[in-house]
Structure 1
Amino acid sequence: MQHWLTTIPPLVVLLLVGLVVFVESIGVPFPGEIVLVAAALAASQHKISAGPFAIALAAVLGAAIGDSIGYGLGHRYGDRLFGWLERRFPKHVNADVLAYAEHVFQRYGVVAVFFGRFVALLRIFAGPLSGSLRMHYTRFLPANVLGAICWAGGTAYLVYYLGAAAETYLKNFSYAGLAVAIFLGIIASTLLRRRLERNVQEYAELRRAAD
């Protein structure tokens, strides 16, 4: 992904970051975080002529606008939208996943909208579910925008400066530090994904037992 981004103009990179995050925020399983991280890392290594602010701004706009459109779609079409997502993306969207996500948003409301931005599963469903559950838009919008700023801005700047620091470090030492960082990152993301999968499974079992 990073190598491919270096082959296209910087403006197209920014548009791509915003577009992919936008589509993901509407409710379609797209690799928004992967594209954002790849762009920020390429910028930190001066492989593309874009700074962290431009990348963060593109992602923030894509996230905030996409979530708002997702909210509108969920509010108007509800179950029809989720049924379409189940048919098109059965590996990512199914009855158990939707039930767990709905449970989280019903229980935590705007808090789930904000913190859900940092979790891939909840990030996809934040807008559509909030609209489907009839959350007031005046409550949804501030949490949506603030979450987009913190997630997109935080990710862009963190990856950018960590990438710059790693490049300086590796010039003087070795690739051992980068290998350790990648290894720890893989472990952390794997543990988070497995924990989320367990939560979905446990909630599905509770629902079946109740039925």
Structure 2
Amino acid sequence: MREAYNVELDNLRDQLADMAALVGEAMELATRSLLEKDLKLAEQVISDDVKVDDARAACEEKAYALLALQAPVATDLRIVVAALHAAESIERMGDLALHVAKAARRRHPNAVLPEEVRPAFARMGEVDVRLAHKLEEVVRSRDIEAAKSLEADDDEVDDIHRNLFSVIMSKDWAHGVSAAVDITLLGRFYERYADHAVSVARRVMFVITGRMPNHSSSDI
């Protein structure tokens, strides 16, 4: 019985890791659709979002079944509770990639991004995708040092996001209010995506140590 139960816990972990892979691909394609004005890629991200929603539902169903049927305690209970929180955060990452793709579709065939901010969004997209890939590995391995390493990538996204405000508030900004609003919202999507990845990594640390790392406002 215990062996079968451990298999179920491992399956739950693998489902979460697979979700991280899905949202990493979603953000990669969404960023390309934004930078390349590629409507087909935007539509793919939008239509594929249901896969992330279904994956969350499957994770939650398994977690609730384990709670009801196995009454886990100690580390096992932490695994199941952390999985419920993680599934929600990873699904939210998928939603944020979806928002990016919808912005690209809404402005098509026009470009959403003025030339001077394109490198910033290209870099934020690159780092967000890297975070998702790291998160996938962290969920599978439960490597506490790897989990901690996500913080540095999140800091980089935060720095780029803050710098965007200086660009759009500059007296040299020549693209109007509408473009500034688009950039503000898009920058927030990328920043929150990174924040959610870190939040899940902290849940993994909680499973390993039994202690929840200090939270910042970005985890809310």
Calculate the TM-score normalised by the size of structure 2: 0.37
Calculate the TM-score normalised by the size of structure 1: 0.38
